[in-house]
A and B are shown apart, each in its own frame.
Chain A
Amino acid sequence: MPGEKILLSHGEGGKKSRDLIRKIIAKRFENPILSPLFDSGLLGRLDGEIAFTTDGYVVTPAIFPGGDIGRLAVCGTLNDLSVCGARPVAISCSLILEEGFPVATLETILDSMKAAAKEGNVVVACGDTKVVEKGNADGIFITTSGVGIASDGWRPAPENVRPGDRIVLTGTMGDHQAAVLIARNRLELAAEILSDVAPLSSMLLDVLSVFGGSVRFMRDPTRGGVGVSLNEMAESSRVRIVLDESRLPVAEAVRGICEILGFDPIYLANEGKALLIVDGKSADPIVETLRKTRYGRNATVIGEVTDGSPGVLMKTVIGGLRAVDYPVGDQLPRIC
């Protein structure tokens, strides 16, 4: 029905709940694990080390240039599994809806979850839906958990990072947060900036299958961006990372918006990028392999691991050296 809104009765467990779940939600994700609508999804026997992750998504606006909260909720969890070297098997989908949320928008978001799950080759195995009174949520919140099977013989190993290793970034920085900021502030800009939200499983797992022994560990630089992820990586490996400012990839439009608003793209969130610390000798072949993939076209080496006290430094474009620290006190809006 056009214009239909989510009502409290959609969450009360009666006929309306049942209709919402069966006809709108479960119908889209149809698969043998979910469809019986048991109280748990039965995944069958899994062979290998199990990876398990969870994440909540509260981005506003729920639909932004280049994606929406549904695609984000699937990709975010898939990417968390992937950077740990795990092949995604199944995810959950827990929705918190605010009374009055348009059903049509919910359907758009669910369609987008379905498409992302298909692209990421994962099933939605279980779910839950709650409705809260108007004013007690912001339209829609989604939580997804994910189960994956770790690649044979590969584990994240920050302890193996050593001087001479290289830092690889799979593409441009800051697209997601820039897109959301523009949508939130209704900034009128000539060029469109699209969120990079994307499932990275196949790209990263392919790299691991060929270069597994050379990849020390990986992170997806979401909140806090490349700057924060690298600081965490330097901390957990207890090494110094030196970035080359001239090699940091930033889309022209993102750079423009950062110059205008005073943001540093290195601290802006990404939802379709990965950082890899790899053996120096394998860096170039890994970059080449990544560049052949859809989401790794702009992959590049952005820095290296050197001797020295742990932390992240940057060789600036004009040849100076400075620290890249954790950002503080930025009033970040809800971006993921």
Chain B
Amino acid sequence: MQLKYIDEFRDPGLAKGVVDSIRTLWGDRPPMRLMEVCGTHTVSIARAGIRSLLEGAITLISGPGCPVCVTPDGYIDAAIGLGKRPDTVIATFGDMLRVPGRISSLEKERGQGIDVRILYSPLDAVEIAAGNPEKEVVFLGVGFETTAPSIAGAILSAAERKIENFSVLSSVRTIPLAMEVLASDPEVRIEGFLCPAHVSTIIGSDAYLPLARKFGVPCVVAGFEPLDILYGIYLLLRQKKQGVATVENEYSRVATPSGNRKALEVLAKVFRECDIGWRGIGVLPRTGLAIADAYAGFDAQKKFGVEIPFSEEKTACRCGDVLKGKITPRECPLFGKACTPEEPYGPCMVSSEGTCAAYYKYGVQ
């Protein structure tokens, strides 16, 4: 199988050209503070060694765009509680397995006997439910706008097939309003956003226009390959230098201004907006997607009367400050000591897309 257009976006000559253009454009101005919102960008930047290439021109801070990292421990506790009910299957994406709740994790509880299955698609959970009518199958619906349509699709499929032993414990979050909270935080001081690529394919690049206008922050939607990121950074610096703040779309080969209409329709049908807690950040109004009343039968919270408590835990773990870009992982006292990928203390170290994990894995000491 030939997977085309990989090398094209990793071309060393072109990359050097963009880096040189960035240097020429920016001169010796103080570094611009940019946030890459999405965890996939964080990993891609670390893997390609982009920080080392642009040292001095930009300060890249990593944002809260790793769904696992912002899932509160109360959610994990609720999932474990559901898993302990008789004849219950917890179906989840693999990343959730090792996230610490308040006292345990799904991985540890699986060792104690709860039935946890790792899936690649929420639709697989519907199949498990169809094949095991005597079991209750609860899918852990964690993610952003990118995964939300497939979760909604699974609910629609279960509804259509009248599969009543399937439900979703929703912890879906949306990005643009969360970015507004960060943009308004004087401690974070964001001068430009590298907007998430996959989220933008769903919601469209226009979704960031209010943010750019309201806060005067340049926004660029960029893909995940090294050249996408470098060119996205170039566009952000250019906006800043020209004194404009608008939305530019570097990822136009996939993301459009208005997004994926079909996916947005499905989201509007199955979900409703709600306030939701972000681990380490707090409750952010209207950034959550709860299951709409028309599909209440598939809402695990309603079906089993589960509460997802949210508390702002105070520990030495500084994931919250990392997620907000206030500190880099190395400034956390636990980083690499009490908190490593083998023994994660905070969620940013658990997920492969977590900022701390990326720093730990790819950081040059």
- The B-contacting residues of A in range 297-322, CB under 8 angstroms, are 309, 311, 313-322
A53 interfacial by beta-carbon distance below 8 Å = no
A314 to B362, CA, bound (A): 9
Residue of B nearest to A260 (CB): B3
Indicate if the CB atoms of B10 and A311 lie closer than 8 Å. no
Check A309–B49 contact: CB distance below 8 A: no
Q: Which of A57-93 contact B (CB under 8 A)?
A: none
A255 with B6: CB separation less than 8 A? yes
Give bound CA distance, A329 to B357, whole Å: 11
Q: Smallest Cβ distance from B97 to chain A, in angstroms? A: 8
What residues on B are CB-neighbors of A320 within 8 Å? 48-53
Q: Which among B50, B341, B364 has the highest number of chain A CB atoms within 10 Å?
A: B364
Distance, CA A320 to CA B47, complexed state (A) = 9
**Residue A191 lies at the interface, judged by CB distance under 8 Å to chain B:** yes
Contact check, A252 vs B1: say whether CB atoms are below 8 A apart.
Answer: yes
| B272 interface residue per 8 A CB criterion | no
The answer on a CB contact under 8 Å between A191 and B362 is no
Contact between B49 and A329, CB atoms less than 8 A apart: no
A20 to chain B, nearest CB (A): 38
Q: How many A-B residue pairs have CB under 8 A?
A: 84
- The reply to whether the CB of A246 lies closer than 8 angstroms to some CB of chain B is yes
Mark out the residues of chain A between 312 and 336 whose CB falls within 8 Å of any chain B CB in the assembled complex: 313-323, 325, 328-329, 331
Once A259-B6, A313-B364 are accepted as A-B contacts, the answer to whether A319 and B12 lie under 8 Å apart by CB is yes
Contacts of B360 in A (CB 8 A): 325
* A257 interface residue (CB < 8 Å to B): yes
Q: How far is the CA of A321 from the CA of B54 in the complex (A)?
A: 12
Q: When the two chains form their complex, are residues B16 and A319 in contact, meaning their CB atoms are under 8 A apart?
A: yes
Q: How far is the CA of A257 from the CA of B46 in the complex (A)?
A: 21
Restricting to A176-231, which residues have a CB under 8 Å from any CB of B? 189-191
- Known A-B contacts A322-B362, A325-B360; the reply to A255 vs B94 at CB < 8 A is no
Q: How far is A260 from B12 in the complex, measured between Cα atoms in Å?
A: 22
Query: Of A309, A315, A318, which is in contact with the most chain B CB atoms at under 10 Å from its CB?
Result: A318
Name A4-30 residues within 8 Å CB distance of B: none
Instruction: Assess whether B6 is in contact with A317, with CB atoms less than 8 Å apart.
Output: no
Cα distance A314–B47 when bound, in Å? 9
Are B10's CB and A318's CB within 8 A?
yes
Q: Give chain A interface residues in 222-262, CB to chain B under 8 Å.
A: 246, 252-253, 255-257, 259-260
Determine which of B48, B94, B341, B361 lies in contact with A331 in the assembled complex, contact meaning CB atoms within 8 Å.
B94
Which of B2, B11, B46 sits near A252, CB closer than 8 Å?
Answer: B2
Query: On chain A, which size bracket covers the interface?
Result: 20 to 34
Partner of B1, one of A257, A322, A329, A331: A257
Instruction: Count residues on chain B whose CB falls below 8 Å from chain A CBs.
Output: 33
List the A side residues contacting B363 at CB < 8 Å.
322-323
B226: Cβ under 8 A from any A Cβ: yes
* Residue in A313, A321, A329 with the greatest tally of chain B CB atoms within 10 Å: A329
Closest beta carbon of chain B to A21's beta carbon, Å: 39
Q: Closest A residue to B358 by CB, please name it.
A: A322
Q: Looking at the assembled complex, report how far the CB atom of A247 sits from the nearest CB atom of chain B, in whole angstroms.
A: 12
Q: Is the CB of B264 closer than 8 A to any CB of chain A? A: no
Which of B2, B16, B49 has the largest count of A CB atoms less than 10 A from its CB? B49
Closest approach, in angstroms, between the C-beta of B341 and any C-beta of chain A?
4
CB contact between B3 and one of A255, A316, A329 (< 8 Å): that residue: A255
Give the residues in chain A near B53, CB-CB below 8 Å.
318-320
- Judge whether B15 is part of the interface by a CB distance below 8 angstroms: yes
Q: How far is the CA of A257 from the CA of B98 in the complex (A)?
A: 25
A256 to B1, CA, bound (A): 6
Q: Name the distance in Å between A32's Cβ and chain B's nearest Cβ.
A: 48
Q: Knowing A309-B365, A318-B15, A329-B341 touch, does A191 contact B1 (C-beta < 8 A)?
A: yes
Q: Please name all residues of chain B whose beta carbon is closer than 8 Å to the beta carbon of A328 when the two chains form the complex.
A: 340-342, 361
Q: How far is the CB of A173 from chain B (nearest CB, A)?
A: 16
**Is B118 on the interface with A (CB-CB < 8 A)?**
yes
Q: Are B15 and A319 in contact (CB under 8 A)?
A: yes
Out of B1, B46, B361, which one reaches A253, CB within 8 Å? B1
Chain B residue with minimal CB distance to A316?
B49
Contact check, A246 vs B12: say whether CB atoms are below 8 A apart.
Answer: yes
Q: Which residues of A contact B11 (CB under 8 A)?
A: 318
**Interface digits, B328-363 against A, CB 8 Å rule (1 contact, 0 not)?**
000000000000111000000000000000001111
Given A246-B12, A316-B49, A319-B12, CB of A256 within 8 Å of CB of B2? yes
In the bound complex, CA of A318 to CA of B227 (Å):
9
Q: Which of B46, B118, B342 contacts A329 (CB 8 A)?
A: B342
CA distance in complex: A252, B4 (Å): 10
**Complex contact B12–A317 (CB within 8 A):** yes
Of the residues A189, A259, A316, contact of B48 by C-beta under 8 Å: A316
B49 and A322 within 8 A (CB): yes
B99, chain A: closest CB distance, angstroms: 12
A323 touches B361 (CB 8 A): yes
Which residues from B are CB-within-8-Å of A191?
1-2
Q: Which of A259, A325, A331 contacts B118 (CB 8 A)?
A: A331
Q: What are 27 A-B contacts defined by CB distance under 8 Å?
A: A190-B1, A246-B12, A252-B1, A255-B6, A256-B2, A309-B365, A313-B364, A317-B10, A317-B15, A318-B10, A318-B12, A318-B53, A319-B49, A320-B53, A321-B364, A322-B46, A322-B49, A322-B364, A323-B362, A323-B364, A325-B360, A325-B361, A328-B340, A328-B341, A328-B342, A329-B342, A331-B118
Chain B contact residues, CB within 8 Å of chain A:
1-3, 6, 10-12, 15-16, 19, 46-53, 94, 98, 118, 226-227, 230, 340-342, 360-365
Could you list 13 further interchain pairs (A-B, Cβ under 8 angstroms) beyond the known A316-B48, A318-B10, A318-B16?
A246-B12, A256-B1, A313-B364, A316-B226, A317-B12, A318-B50, A322-B49, A322-B364, A325-B360, A328-B342, A329-B342, A331-B94, A331-B118
